[in-house]
Structure 1
Amino acid sequence: MSDVTHPTVTDRPPAPEFLGRRRELAALRSDIERAGLDTLAGRPAPRCRVLLIAGRPGTGRSALAAKFARELAAAGDHPDGVLHARLTDPGGAAVPVAHVARGLLAALGEPTPPGADGDELSDTLREALAERRAVLVLDDVHSAAQLSDLVPDSRDSLVVAVARGPLTGVPDVRPCTLGGLDRQTAVRLLARGAGPVRVTVDPTAAESLAEECADLPAALVLVAGWLGAHPEATVADALHRMRADHIGPLLAEGADGAGPDSAVESAEEADDTPAADPGPEEDPGLADGPLRRAFGLVHASLPAPAARLLRLLTLAPPGTVDAHTAAALAGCPVQAARAALAEFAALGLLRPAPEPGQYLLPRCFEALLQALTRTQERPAEVVLARARMLERTVRRLRAAEAVTEPPGSAARRWLSGLPAALRFETREAAAGWLTARGPALLAAARLAVADGGLDTLARRLLSALTRALVAHRGGEGAAWELYQLHELVVQVATRQRLPRELAAAHLNLGDIDARADRHAKALVRYRAALDAARDERDQADSATLGRALESIGDAYTELRDPQRAADWYGRALALAQSRGDLDGTARLHGRIGAALVRDEQWNDALRAWRAAGAAHRRRGDMAAQAHALAEAARVLEYADRTREAVRTAGDALRLAVRAGDRRLQAALHLLLVDCAERLGDAPAADRHRAAAEEALNPAVLSLPEALGFET
């Protein structure tokens, strides 16, 4: 998942002082001023400048990018602030460009069309940045092609990319390559946790400890955290413990039969990306040992329940982790999980997220934790932990939906019976939680569907998340998220052979596409819904079948193919008549009539509108009957059957008067004006014109406007 932050966010926990990297910061600043190849060649730069920070996880590359971006924003050269996105997920796969672009657009406050693909959203992002001066920090870039899709055209913006190595496909980029810190800064970083006294007492041990950490910031932070948690230990104690291999024996245990070599190999592969990777055997964080040994030092100091919780955090959705997720994974109280997360952050195992109470798992620890999870946790326990997490998420989503219901309702009574930790006291609190946890909730849904073994829970999660989003934002406000959820429903329903759910999901996707004016794509969705509704095991679902047929007709109407539209409406009409659906019969007669009018088939259109009027009469809906007769009168006028049009319009007018529809009365008087003028009856035209003004004064409406259809 992309992790996007807006520059106006003010509740980020205060970050510790940034140490070192002065030379790298100076190089990045000078690189902004450096003339690019296009400038040297006398051509204007076609896109914004891209600066690249390259280094292994654990070298502090993300922290340097964030520090540099903050300095640029503070200098005032980029008044539109800093945007941040992560381009690789914890499994090592590239985050889809559509997700990244949509997150950046949301941070900019720009609307995004639901269902838009990566190319469309990339273009929208470039348009949004065309008039802005912003800094884009694109962290953990997976490939040069992925980065190119997100680079703005505006030369006023700046991209700071973070990757493992050089991105050869991006022109005019000179990487700022990171290794370890300088020794003085490394010792200062250790002193942050150990305190100046312990470092001053044994400066040689402090320097040796920094050397043992290879001066890697991530390893130094872990050791500093361990020293801070053990005030009785000396720096020499930390050095001695650091040299021991705490992780190797755990990986060798292999709860599921995997040996240490396979576990480490899998961990290294999980951390691998194609961006100029020199190979796992050269990884300074894993194979060479400093980061692995520092992690082992801290992991070995944790109580068994805390160590287990830390390992299980790899099962959480990509993005942030909160106390509820941690509590569900470990099966412990929320307060205990909250305290454990705070302890992990103090030890350097987690980083505080911008949102209060949420944390980020650093990428450099993911591979080790995944390897430990495979060897230390039984597969059944892993499945159970994931199921508990999904079940807790479903209950929270149901609580978020229930708080929107009226007081005294069944949903509110259910909400009051929940434990206090799961409840939301106000609608605003639930909405805030839904917004803050939105990316993680969508990620949880994607993981649940991808798992394949928890489809029942996945279906409940998709349903609960859909209802909660609609309850708080409405269908239009949550359209982008709903589109993704319906696509996930398609996957589960296809896998489980659930034709009704599959058809409903395709219909919902088609409706969203239609509202976004992607009618050709909507037509494909509606046809897929029709195929699902016709499933031989579910012939009883005629309502879904009828909706699919009618929706196909609607799509052809929007695609300006009235003949096919009328044909599909006719199929839906036959089904509605066989079901005795009088409302559907009346509506579909009208849709057929409107389609045939567009195709200038006057006689067939007239029959359809008269049939619609008869159906509305049987329904007892006088106003709708008057509308249908008014449409029939308009068709007669189009067909040059003016006297018949006058009689039919008169019948419609009498019904409109009885129904009290003054707007329709005015429209019918205007129609009669046209007819009277065609017949050369000027006095009648004047009378109807005056009656129209009286019926709806001061607005003077045309018939199509009053009836709500296009001529």
Structure 2
Amino acid sequence: MTDQAVRDDGPPSAPGHSSGGFSGRERELGELRADVACAGLSTLAGRPAPHSRVLLIVGRPGSGRTALAEELAGELAGDYPDGVLRARLSGPGRTVVPAERTARDLLAALGADPPDPGVEPTELTGTLRALLAERRVLLLLDDVTEAEQLLELLPENRDSLVVAVAGGPLPGVSDVRPCTLGGLDRGAAVELLRSRAGAAPRLTVDPRRAEALAEACGDLPAALRLVGGWLAAHPRLSVSDATSRLEEAAEHARPTGGRRADQLERAFQLVYGGLPRPAARLLRLLALAPAGFVDAHTASALAGCSVSTARETLGEFAALGLLRDEPHEGAESYGRPGPYGYGVPGWLDPLLRDELTRTERPGDLMVARARMLERDVRRLWACWAVAEPSGSSARAKLAELPRELRFDNRAQAAHWLATRRGPLLAAARLAVHEGGGELDTLARRLARALALAFGAHRAPAETAAETYRLHELVLEVAGRGGLWREQAATLLDLADLDAGTGRLARAVPRYRAALDAARTAGETGHTGRALESLGAAYAELGDSSRAADWYDRALLHQQTHGRLSDVARAHCLMGAVHTDAGRWTDALRAWRAAAAAYRRLREPSAQARALGEVARVLEYAGRPRDALRAWRDALATARRAEDVGLQAVLRARLGDTCAAAGEAAAARYHRAESARLLRHTRSDPPGTVRPDASENQGKLQKNSPTACETTEAKGES
């Protein structure tokens, strides 16, 4: 289970049914079931806890604690109609998964609307708890490292249940009776060895030696699986051979701190020491796999071997008990049955990292990381390209890629992206944070490729938060490398996302930082965009004076560095903010300048819209006769443009102005003509005239006659 949250609504396991070969924990399982049925400690004390019950399963890595939690969840799932939610709260290297990421994944698993990008973590966890308070769910949280992680996610009702898995007690979490795991019962340990060792009668004919081997494994499920897998791979060796080899392996184990190697470390050394050198190197390189997930392509890139060799070797590792299968519905869509990938168990990760530190040079590890990231970039590029139209240049280049890197169709690519979303995002984070700056170029390429693939296969609302985090990673890389142009572009994108979700207090400083970065880089396009965005932000905040000041700076910048279309747009923005503030003289000057600029550009539709704004401002200023002339000028210009929809809107407004001026016949004529023109248009007019100058800047940019043009031009810049 990666750190990505998962929801399970499937049929629960029948009571007593052991899914996935689970055995040997019947006593602990019974105690946990009984604990669910009895009253909690707080209830017995007369002060029921405000949150759901917590069952805590405590054990060292390799003790089977996660398997026990999964078995319990399978048995209890039928009692929780809103499903079973799963999340892992720590990743490889004991890194803590941020609460924000876990909350987003759990909200997605619940089917909630995607939260806004950049929202504060406390708000996210609060939203999750509020939603869980209305549900009856079973929440399975694996690899909890500290009590605060658990407390941030606890449902605030007594109808749900939380099953937490940790390495030790969690002080601060009330109403908890930990279930502490040791080794398996000896009989169950021998049975697990027998099931892993295969059909050979070695363990059956010599039960005492089999018990001695189980004791040498500490009766730990992970160690028993490793030794059983080793026996299956060496059918000519006896149980005594396995026991003696296990003792010899203790001499090769190198635990830290001067302590003696434990049973799990000895079992690992037994298996690891018998691997061919290429396979052993591939195994230890799996410690670099993002989020502890590995498939044939990741392994191939890390070790520099072929995909087929990596696939075969990973299957052998799984048979030995070194990896766990990661099955996924629809995995056969890749043309091969079986798991779509493998997970590196939590107990194995520190052992592999120790081997990496002992045997691999830092430079070689950096090369392996770079190969892995390059493979991810190419696969993501293929994932995006397969969604492009047939005959496009992207599809032509896709056909040139090796067969193993391509996808047969869009559905296959979308499935691949869905199953690897978490590891791919983890790869981007690791490239930025652990590359020491040497992988920054690959990190930027990976972030770009991820954004392209997400845009091709997922809805924008689903990827907004991930895109936000990718922008933050790119910003970190750009800042570290002094890439001012990229800093400016990324800050503008982040600020736009903040402004789009109403967090203007965060957007304004980012727009200012983007302006500084753009000026340092000499990037005139980003400078103009930052100036205009600052004006729009202050207009949205209701500060028309500052908005006008920033728009004035933008106008001066565009007059110096921009195209005439940029100047026209800046005049429109100035006119809009002055109109909203009731500064009629300034508004008229700006709108007339915009109309003149569009006339020079030979864009009559845009000119007509600007003239319509002139007429509107004249009406607001109490000059109806001048407004009539302006409306007629706008209408004549729209006729030259042959813009029927705009003509209909302008005639309707001209009719209203005629009626206000006492020209009833002219009013009826223009309104009738407007209705006739609208009947002949099958779609909405390309622009509409803003009905009320008191609207705020955000509404103005969406609804005013110049809105489409100014918004599109701003996006192009």
TM-score > 0.5 by shorter chain: yes
The answer to which of 592-601 and 34-43 deviates more is 34-43
Distance in 1 between the 2:281 and 2:425 partners?
25
Distance in 2 between the 1:496 and 1:301 partners?
45
Match of 2:583 in 1: 601
Match of 1:58 in 2: 62
Distance in 2 between the 1:339 and 1:398 partners?
26
Match of 1:78 in 2: 80
Answer yes or no: is 1:439 the counterpart of 2:441. no
Answer yes or no: is 1:19 the counterpart of 2:20. no
2:292, 2:345 within 8 Å by CA — same for their partners in 1? no
Tell me the percent identity. 55
Q: Return closer, same or farther for 1:488/1:662 CA change in 2, 3 Å cut-off.
A: same
Answer yes or no: is 1:147 the counterpart of 2:150. yes
Distance in 2 between the 1:38 and 1:174 partners?
11
Q: Return closer, same or farther for 1:117/1:438 CA change in 2, 3 Å cut-off.
A: same
Q: Aligned with 2:404: secondary structure?
A: coil
Q: Which amino acid aligns with 1:544?
A: H
Match of 2:232 in 1: 228
Per-residue CA shift, 1:156-189, capped at 9, x if unaligned?
3221111111111112122111111111111111
1:363 to 324, 335, 346: 346
Per-residue CA shift, 1:510-536, capped at 9, x if unaligned?
12222223222222221221121121x
Answer yes or no: is 1:294 the counterpart of 2:267. yes
Q: Which amino acid aligns with 1:620?
A: R
Q: Aligned with 2:93: secondary structure?
A: coil
Match of 2:306 in 1: 333
2:323 to 341, 350, 357: 350
1:520, 1:559 within 8 Å by CA — same for their partners in 2? no
Distance in 1 between the 2:630 and 2:44 partners?
78
Q: Which amino acid aligns with 1:108?
A: L
Q: Aligned with 1:696: secondary structure?
A: helix
- Segments of 5+ residues of structure 2 without an aligned counterpart are 329-338, 693-699, 706-717
Q: Return closer, same or farther for 1:9/1:116 CA change in 2, 3 Å cut-off.
A: farther
Distance in 2 between the 1:166 and 1:202 partners?
40
Match of 2:379 in 1: 396
Q: Aligned with 2:272: secondary structure?
A: helix
1:668 to 623, 634, 650: 650
Q: Return closer, same or farther for 1:408/1:651 CA change in 2, 3 Å cut-off.
A: same
The answer to which of 698-707 and 132-141 deviates more is 698-707
Matches within 5 A, 1:567-578: 567-578=549-560
1:123 to 108, 114, 126: 126
Distance in 1 between the 2:389 and 2:648 partners?
41
Match of 2:289 in 1: 316
Distance in 2 between the 1:596 and 1:149 partners?
47
Match of 2:696 in 1: none
Answer yes or no: is 1:423 the counterpart of 2:400. no
Q: Aligned with 1:421: secondary structure?
A: helix
Deviation at residue 475 of structure 1 after TM alignment: 4.7
Matches within 5 A, 1:159-308: 159-195=162-198, 197-245=201-249, 248-249=251-252, 251=254, 264-265=256-257, 287=260, 289-308=262-281
Q: Which amino acid aligns with 1:704?
A: R
Q: How many residues align?
A: 673
Deviation at residue 96 of structure 1 after TM alignment: 0.5
Match of 1:376 in 2: 359
Q: Return closer, same or farther for 1:325/1:598 CA change in 2, 3 Å cut-off.
A: same
Q: Aligned with 1:245: secondary structure?
A: helix
The answer to which of 318-327 and 29-38 deviates more is 29-38
Distance in 1 between the 2:371 and 2:543 partners?
51
Q: What RMSD over aligned residues (CA atoms) do the two structures have, in Å?
A: 2.5
Deviation at residue 678 of structure 1 after TM alignment: 3.1
1:102, 1:112 within 8 Å by CA — same for their partners in 2? yes
Q: Which amino acid aligns with 1:690?
A: A
Q: Return closer, same or farther for 1:15/1:573 CA change in 2, 3 Å cut-off.
A: farther
Distance in 2 between the 1:5 and 1:633 partners?
58
Q: Aligned with 1:140: secondary structure?
A: strand
Matches within 5 A, 1:466-505: 466-473=451-458, 475-505=460-490
Distance in 1 between the 2:597 and 2:45 partners?
75
Q: Aligned with 1:615: secondary structure?
A: helix
Deviation at residue 205 of structure 1 after TM alignment: 0.9
Q: Aligned with 1:3: secondary structure?
A: coil
Distance in 2 between the 1:700 and 1:205 partners?
85
Deviation at residue 216 of structure 1 after TM alignment: 1.1
Match of 2:447 in 1: 462
Distance in 1 between the 2:395 and 2:36 partners?
57
Distance in 2 between the 1:385 and 1:700 partners?
56
Answer yes or no: is 1:635 the counterpart of 2:617. yes
Answer yes or no: is 1:704 the counterpart of 2:690. yes
The answer to which of 523-532 and 135-144 deviates more is 523-532
Deviation at residue 476 of structure 1 after TM alignment: 4.6
1:507 to 492, 510, 520: 492
Q: Return closer, same or farther for 1:387/1:635 CA change in 2, 3 Å cut-off.
A: same
1:102, 1:121 within 8 Å by CA — same for their partners in 2? yes
The answer to which of 499-508 and 457-466 deviates more is 457-466
Distance in 2 between the 1:616 and 1:40 partners?
78
Answer yes or no: is 1:566 the counterpart of 2:560. no
Per-residue CA shift, 1:212-261, capped at 9, x if unaligned?
11111111111111112122222221111111235x5474xxxxxxxxx7
Per-residue CA shift, 1:474-518, capped at 9, x if unaligned?
655432221111111111111110001111111111122222232
1:412 to 375, 395, 408: 395
Q: Aligned with 2:248: secondary structure?
A: coil
1:693, 1:700 within 8 Å by CA — same for their partners in 2? no
Q: Aligned with 1:485: secondary structure?
A: helix
2:689, 2:704 within 8 Å by CA — same for their partners in 1? no
Distance in 2 between the 1:661 and 1:220 partners?
79
1:562, 1:596 within 8 Å by CA — same for their partners in 2? yes
Match of 2:669 in 1: 687
Distance in 1 between the 2:62 and 2:253 partners?
22
Deviation at residue 148 of structure 1 after TM alignment: 1.1
Distance in 1 between the 2:198 and 2:309 partners?
28
Q: Which amino acid aligns with 2:440?
A: D
2:613, 2:689 within 8 Å by CA — same for their partners in 1? no
Deviation at residue 313 of structure 1 after TM alignment: 0.3
- Segments of 5+ residues of structure 1 without an aligned counterpart are 252-260, 266-279, 282-286
Match of 2:89 in 1: 87
Per-residue CA shift, 1:34-73, capped at 9, x if unaligned?
3235544666652222211111111111111111111111
1:328, 1:385 within 8 Å by CA — same for their partners in 2? yes
2:161 to 140, 145, 158: 158
1:28 to 6, 29, 32: 32
Deviation at residue 115 of structure 1 after TM alignment: 2.0
Match of 2:708 in 1: none
Distance in 2 between the 1:557 and 1:157 partners?
46
Deviation at residue 704 of structure 1 after TM alignment: 2.5
Deviation at residue 8 of structure 1 after TM alignment: 4.9
Match of 1:385 in 2: 368
Deviation at residue 462 of structure 1 after TM alignment: 2.1
Distance in 2 between the 1:15 and 1:341 partners?
23
Match of 2:709 in 1: none
TM-score normalised by structure 2 residue count:
0.89
Matches within 5 A, 1:506-655: 506-535=491-520, 538-539=521-522, 541-655=523-637
Distance in 2 between the 1:700 and 1:249 partners?
78
Distance in 2 between the 1:661 and 1:476 partners?
34
Match of 2:711 in 1: none
Q: Return closer, same or farther for 1:610/1:42 CA change in 2, 3 Å cut-off.
A: farther
2:59, 2:65 within 8 Å by CA — same for their partners in 1? yes
Distance in 2 between the 1:203 and 1:459 partners?
59
Q: Return closer, same or farther for 1:434/1:2 CA change in 2, 3 Å cut-off.
A: same
Q: Return closer, same or farther for 1:576/1:476 CA change in 2, 3 Å cut-off.
A: farther
Q: Which amino acid aligns with 1:375?
A: R
